[in-house]
Amino acid sequence: MPIYKAPVEDALFLLNDVFKLERYGNLPGFADASPDVVEAVLSEAAKLAEETLTPLNRVGDKEGCKRAPDGSVKTPTGFKEAFAQLRDGGWIGISAPTEFGGQGLPATLTVLVNEFLCSANMAFAMYPGLTQGAIAAILVHASQSLKEKYLPKMVAGEWTGTMNLTEPHCGTDLGLLRSKAVKQSDGSYKISGTKIFISAGEHDMAENIIHLVLARIEGAPAGTKGISLFLVPKLLVGDDGKPGAKNGVSCGSLEEKMGIHGNATCVMNYDNATGWLIGEENRGLNAMFVMMNEARLGVGVQGLAQSEVAYQNAANYAKERLQGRSVSGASNKDKPADPIIVHPDVRRMLMTVRAFNEAARALVMWTALKGDVAHRAEDQKERQSADDHMGLLTPVIKGVLTDVGFTNAVLAQQVYGGHGYIAEHGVEQFVRDARIAQIYEGANGIQALDLVGRKLAKDGGRALQAFLGEVMGYIKEKGGDETLKPLVTPLGTAAGHLQQSSMWFMQNAMAKPDNALAGSYDYMHLFGLVALGYMWCRIAEAAAPKASEPRFKAKLVTARFFMERLLPETAAHLARIQSGAASMMELPQDAF
Amino acid sequence: MPIYKAPVEDALFLLNDVFKLERYGNLPGFADASPDVVEAVLSEAAKLAEETLTPLNRVGDKEGCKRAPDGSVKTPTGFKEAFAQLRDGGWIGISAPTEFGGQGLPATLTVLVNEFLCSANMAFAMYPGLTQGAIAAILVHASQSLKEKYLPKMVAGEWTGTMNLTEPHCGTDLGLLRSKAVKQSDGSYKISGTKIFISAGEHDMAENIIHLVLARIEGAPAGTKGISLFLVPKLLVGDDGKPGAKNGVSCGSLEEKMGIHGNATCVMNYDNATGWLIGEENRGLNAMFVMMNEARLGVGVQGLAQSEVAYQNAANYAKERLQGRSVSGASNKDKPADPIIVHPDVRRMLMTVRAFNEAARALVMWTALKGDVAHRAEDQKERQSADDHMGLLTPVIKGVLTDVGFTNAVLAQQVYGGHGYIAEHGVEQFVRDARIAQIYEGANGIQALDLVGRKLAKDGGRALQAFLGEVMGYIKEKGGDETLKPLVTPLGTAAGHLQQSSMWFMQNAMAKPDNALAGSYDYMHLFGLVALGYMWCRIAEAAAPKASEPRFKAKLVTARFFMERLLPETAAHLARIQSGAASMMELPQDAF
């Protein structure tokens, strides 16, 4: 049975000591996020994650969701009760606007809470997570009357939300989508079509489900410029705000899949379902992108979350499992063998995972705080610069944190040896669950394309310049600091690789765009390493004055490990990027 | 439904053009392996793999094995019939000695055939694979009477074999094992104890199962020097050679696991089971190691095999799935979108996998041929040098081919996007199945330990010197060759990294062994890259004269891709190795 302890202390250290939350006190909602409120929120969330959701993780995996012939879906034993607890605790709406019943706290807190929930039970956490994404899209783009009708129930967790993009023949390339919408005289639309891979598309935990659906209005232009976004409730909502008649939408089947069995992945059939336009006609992708950016950050957090829970279990196992003797002398002489954590290669695996986790949490928090600034600051310039950061870092966080999160779950599984392959310990489930995060919400290759193909050049490269400017400035500033020098020196090398790569794209991609796309994946990971390395410097800076305490001393050691063991990869990324597209693209298609 | 086409042409190219099989004509059995015989054997094996085993792969995964209350185990639908076909074709014994009914062909052929069977159906191929391993151990260490009684049936595939090492409290550290053996007056032993993770431990496909079991004879010394190896048949075999009464061994339960569901992973209970000693008392590990080395090469092949079949399916999908447009202009103007293989990042994934597969197949073949020389050559020096190569390369092949094989299965799955996460396409099964190969037969960290802790220093480093001597000599010899220069130049850099790492270990591990162990995993992968890079040079050398044919031209392009995209990793490995053990080992255990 897997264990989990939410990293509340680490989160508080990051918020208070590294990012100094009190500096943001002038933002709306932040004044309410006093240190004691933050600690109380995180501690309560930890309790929910540890006590309620963790024990249901394997249950969800084993039982999965079941669809009845009438199209209804039953979630695994205990999910409904757990969701009721989540709803009653008001967890979905802690950062939602107070006017719709939320608590208006910083979105950063929601991101942290979601890490805890995802570590405990990723399949479960997707239900509230998707609801939060849907709330975000409705908030930004829907009419006031739609907001008033739907948001209070969603914020309260009485109704959940979904996003419906993918169709059997189109996922990444949404321009191909065929679901259609026909305008009615009352201003509503009739939606028809088939959507696949719809997470949380149907279930038994909420009174109603609000689907956000991309479809093409009759006569709309072809391609992505003819797509609109609609709100389609499972049950039509009367003027009294109560769900009534069934709408023309149903779950046609559930997918049999590698993991996240506790989440219902549905084929959704829309048959003249009644829907309402969100935002403008033919501008659906824009509206959906609000939801997707939110969701992409959330999916990055899933990668971190699986890495964290896998680490905790592997570390526990490594301290308990007795096998072999330390090469530097038995550490456990009265027992027949030493715990396997004495072996360097086991340490290598554990240190690799934790050196990622702690920096990844910082990176998420840094970016989530920028998100709060982008949405809440008064100063337009401040908002813009925070928004630049969000746009640039979102694909990096999604792509890198889910790739490394998966790899780390595999490493943690490896610590268990043969026992890691057996379902009983629960660690192979982390691997299967973590895998989806690299794929959905835009496969990671698409994140790399978004980063290199769109975000780098946007506004004349303003976002990249700001990012590199901050990192380079920090390196320069701290280069003489005795504690930080051993960290900022390798970071400087790595940041140099990032600059050289960016330069190489500028020089070589204009004439031949394949040269940029062939290096995009390596660039995303190179970027991620620099960002994580910068986080380690910031963490070490905050930890150094407290290094007499073991847990802060550990931060300094782990920072060094990161620089020595993970950061050197940037040179390989640079070499691959500079090799260009030639050998990659030369073979004719029929050679494959 | 996954597809598979055995790479017969590629195997023949390697055998005939790269390794020039005809040069080995003086070895026993090789004269029979004329080009037409080899082609016929491989083509027949391909047929068995493609037509019989491929269609059963998903069946095996879905149904799994079922244990009845009486301890008997039913394999998935179709497995029994497929095994009968394999048996009747004489496949298990193609390389076994003719005196026991085998065909005496080169073991290299068996290794190639096993790649095909493992690609088609890894869970199935483990049954004959383990039988071959058991045959090898019996051949080298058992008495003539045991050989005569058991080998003919095993070679014929009428009986299968297993290896029983692991116990609940000990896997890697066999010195802890508790199963006991009590000598009987007739020279046999009574074996008692519990073994876990016993692949193919019980099933319904063969008349009898021959278990090779490690146990401790009463009064034997503690630790690994008190372990003996026993042959324990499921059914006792009479003097007439026929299986009769049930022995005291039974399957207590089946493990629920991540993959290879078609293979029965058993808890085996030995309760005063009758067994016979193989080899000398207390020298069981030595005898078992024969089986394990054979098995480790075989497990390396499983990694390659899963990578190959995953590649083939992903390449097919990438040519069929229409999504998006090529950035260099639509390639498919009459269709709504281009096949995704036009996108550089999809190419990156496919090229990465194939650049590994083709070189890994060569590396396996090179080493298998050395195995044949080690066992069959007349000249003692030739045997010794081949044996050195085997000892050095076995952990590299096991560790690197299974690690990269798994990563490649994940890459292939990624090509499918969301569809790769769905069971229907069969590609997520490759990932789950491939995962075990990194764990069993010595987890890959143990392979790295074997390489760095034992193989490097053995006989004064003779094996490593010979390997590096050959690679460096080749680089020197071909450095002026116009075609090969772009390949051998980067290989020279990589081989230099391998030399520097080896040197670093010599200088830093004497005083502090942790310094070597902390770098062992990176060293194994660095070694693997150099070996694979060398294989690419050899392949390119053989392909260059035929480069007017597209398939040989493709070899030259893929070789370049390997050097540009995979080989640069050696520098990162070197950097990590040279960072030593300090930051890895510094934290106290309770910091984890």
Q: Domain residue spans in chain B?
A: 455-585
Q: A-chain residues within 8 Å CB-CB of B444?
A: 414
Residue B48 near residue B85 (C-beta atoms within 8 A): yes
In B241-313, at which residue ranges do the beta strands (DSSP E only) sit?
243-246, 249-254, 265-278
Q: How far apart are CA B256 and CA A550, in angstroms?
A: 40
Buried b (16+ CB within 10 A) or exposed e, B193-208: bbbbbbbbbbbebbeb
A441, A295 Cβ separation under 8 angstroms: yes
- Give percent above pLDDT 70 in chain B: 100
d(Cα A117, Cα A47) in Å, to the nearest integer?
10
Considering only the beta carbons, identify the residue of A406, A513, A576 that sits closest to B564. Answer: A576
Distance from chain centroid for Cα A75? 23
d(CA B309, CA B317) in angstroms, rounded, equals 12
Rounded to an integer, what distance in angstroms lies between the CA atom of residue A299 and that of residue A316?
Answer: 26
| Predicted confidence (pLDDT) per residue in B73-111, tens digit | 999 999 999 999 999 999 999 999 999 999 999 999 999
In whole numbers, what is the pLDDT of chain B averaged over residues? 96
Kindly list the residues from chain B whose CB atom is less than 8 angstroms away from the CB atom of residue A587. 351, 554, 557-558
C-alpha separations of A112 from A15, A106, A176, A297, A305 in Å: 10, 10, 36, 11, 10
CB contact under 8 A, B587 and A560: no
Query: Which B positions 483-542 lie with beta carbon below 8 A of chain A?
Result: 512-514, 517-518, 520-521
In this structure, the number of other CB atoms found within 10 A of the CB of residue B553 comes to: 18
The candidate with the shortest Cα–Cα distance to B555, out of B135, B190, B4, B9, is B9
Catalytic residue among A294, A308, A428, A441: A441
Contact between A418 and B170 using a beta-carbon 8 Å cutoff: no
Extract the tokens encoding A260: 């996240």
> Taking every pair of C-alpha atoms in chain B, what is the biggest distance, in angstroms?
83
* Angstrom distance (rounded) from CA A179 to CA B388: 64
Looking only at the bridges linking them, the beta strands covering A189-199 and A180-183 are antiparallel
Which pLDDT score, from 0 to 100, does residue A330 have?
Answer: 76
Sign of CA dihedral A437, A440, A444, A450: negative
- Closest listed residue to residue B201, CA positions, set B137, B136, B280, B254: B254
Amino acid at site A470: E
CA distance B478 to B537: 9
Token duo for residue B502: 């080896």
ipTM above 0.95, yes or no: yes
A328 with B575: Cβ contact below 8 A: no
Q: Are the C-beta atoms of residues A124 and A82 closer than 8 Å to each other?
A: yes
Residue A3 and residue A39 in contact, taking contact as beta carbons nearer than 8 Å: no
Strand residues in B78-188 grouped as ranges (E): 159-164, 180-183
CB contact under 8 A, B346 and A445: yes
- For residue B387, the 8-state DSSP code is H
Q: Closest to A592 (Cβ–Cβ): which among B259, B315, B449?
A: B315
In angstroms, the CA B186 to CA B190 distance is 11
Q: What residue type is A169 in one-letter code? A: H
Task: Give dist(CA A351, CA B556) in Å, integer.
Answer: 39
Q: How far apart are CA B539 and CA B360, in angstroms?
A: 11
Q: Which helix (H) or strand (E) holds A211?
A: strand A208-217
Q: Count CB atoms within 10 A of the CB of residue A13.
A: 22
pLDDT digits (tens, 9 = 90+) for B191-228: 999 999 999 999 999 999 999 999 999 999 999 999 99
Q: In sequence order, what are the residues at sequence separation of 6 or more whose Cβ sits closer than 8 angstroms to the Cβ of residue B265?
A: B197, B198, B199, B201, B254, B255, B257
What are the backbone dihedrals phi and psi of residue B506, each rounded to the nearest 5 degrees, phi first?
-60, -40
pLDDT of B154: 98
The single residue listed with the structure tokens 């719809």 is A198
What pLDDT score does A333 carry? Answer: 85
Give me the residues of A, 38-97, that contact B with CB < 8 A.
none
Distance (Å, rounded) from C-alpha B306 to C-alpha B406? 7
pLDDT at A289: 78
Q: Does B551 touch chain A (CB under 8 A)?
A: yes
For A305, the token pair is 């979350």
Between strands B180-183 and B208-217, the pairing is parallel
Q: Phi and psi at residue B355, in whole multiples of 5°?
A: -65, -25
Distance (Å, whole) CA A496 – CA A481: 20
Kindly report the backbone phi and psi dihedral angles of residue A209, in degrees, each rounded to the nearest multiple of 5, phi listed first.
-125, 130
Model confidence over A425-439: pLDDT tens digits? 999 999 999 999 999
Q: Are strands B159-164 and B208-217 parallel, antiparallel or unpaired?
A: parallel
Cross-chain residue pair A421–B436, CB shorter than 8 Å: yes
- Positive or negative, the CA dihedral A537, A539, A544, A549 is negative
A547 CB near a chain B CB, below 8 Å? no
- Backbone φ and ψ for B524, nearest 5 degrees, come out as -60, -45
Using CA atoms, how far apart are residues A254 and A165, in angstroms rounded to an integer? 17
Nearest-5° Cα angle at B532, B528 to B536: 170
Neighbouring-strand partners of residue B67: B73
Tell me the chain B residues in contact with residue A170 when contact means C-beta distances shorter than 8 Å.
Answer: 323
Say what angle helices B520-543 and B569-578 make with each other, to 10 degrees.
Answer: 160
Closest CA to B576 of A564, A526, A561, A492: A564
Q: Name A127's Cβ contacts closer than 8 Å, sequence gap at least 6.
A: A83, A160, A200, A203, A205, A263
* pLDDT value at residue B1: 84
pLDDT tens, B124-175?
999 999 999 999 999 999 999 999 999 999 999 999 999 999 999 998 899 9
The phi and psi torsions of A442 (rounded to 5 degrees) equal 90, 105
Element (H, E) at A245: strand A243-246
Tokens of B539: 């392949």
Nearest residue, CB atoms, A337 vs list B176, B196, B572: B176
Asked whether B340 and A516 are in contact (CB, 8 A), the reply is no
**Segments of chain A scoring below 70 in pLDDT:** none
What is the distance between the alpha carbons of residues B65 and A468, in angstroms, rounded to a whole number?
Answer: 56
pTM, two decimal places: 0.98
A-facing residues of B in 288-347 (CB < 8 A) are 315, 318-319, 322-324, 327-328, 336-337, 339, 341-347
d(CA A334, CA B96): 47
**Of B115, B202, B358, B441, which residue is the catalytic one?**
B441
The residues in A 419-438 lying below 8 A from B, measured between CB atoms, are: 420-424, 428, 431-432, 435-436, 438
Q: Report the relative pairing of strands A243-246 and A249-254 from DSSP bridges.
A: unpaired
Q: Which of residues 245-274 of A touch B (CB under 8 A)?
A: 255-259
Instruction: Fill in the amino acid letter for B71.
Output: G
**Closest Cβ–Cβ partner in B341, B518, B558 for A589:** B341
- Is there a catalytic annotation at residue B441? yes
Tally of helices (H runs) and strands (E runs) in chain B:
19, 11
pLDDT score recorded for residue B504 = 97
The mean per-residue pLDDT over the stretch B51-55 comes to 98
Task: Determine the residue type at A25.
Answer: G
Residues B264-286 have pLDDT tens digits of: 999 999 999 999 999 999 999 98
Chain B residue closest in CA terms to A344: B518
3-state secondary structure of A182: strand
Is the sign of the CA dihedral B222, B226, B227, B230 positive or negative?
negative
Q: Write down the pLDDT at residue A165.
A: 95
Rounded percentage of chain B residues whose pLDDT exceeds 90: 95
Quickly count: other Cβ atoms within 10 Å of residue B380's Cβ. Answer: 8
In this prediction, residue A1 carries a pLDDT of 84
The answer to whether the Cβ–Cβ distance between A513 and B327 falls below 8 Å is yes
DSSP string, A512-548: -THHHHTTHHHHHHHHHHHHHHHHHHHHHHHHGGGTT
